[in-house]
Amino acid sequence: MNVQPPAPAPSGSSVGPVIGIIIILVVIILAGLYFWGQKEMDTEVEETNTAASTESITVQSQSDETDSIENDLNNTEIESLDAELNAS
């Protein structure tokens, strides 16, 4: 009987899994930066809208005449006052 010695195990390198892990980490980091940037832009838009609403509320006449008070009430946008509460 001819007994053959076992074939030597192929010497594999671990470069493939390391490259795969690096690619996955880069994708996760890029996705995180993208979502963080979107959140910052949404915050800036909300601050701009809030500032405009606040500015329109503070621009009111100093008169205590009935007509002035009525004009201030008509010019105040009451529907969007609770927009921040409904946003969450």
Structural domain count, the chain? 1
**Which structural domain range is residue 51 located in?**
23-55
pLDDT, average across residues 43-63: 67
- Domain assignment of residue 35, yes or no: yes
Which residue do the tokens 């390198």 mark?
Answer: 13
- Domain assignment of residue 10, yes or no: no
pLDDT given for residue 56 in this prediction: 61
**DSSP state letter for 5:** P
Tell me if the pTM is above 0.75. no
pLDDT, average across residues 61-69: 79
pLDDT in tens, 22-40: 999 999 999 999 988 888 7
- CA separation (Å) from 78 to 14, 36, 55? 64, 32, 14
pLDDT given for residue 54 in this prediction: 65
- Dist. CA 56–CA 60, nearest whole Å: 8
**Side-chain half-sphere of 47: how many Cα atoms within 13 Å?**
6
- Dist. CA 88–CA 81, nearest whole Å: 14
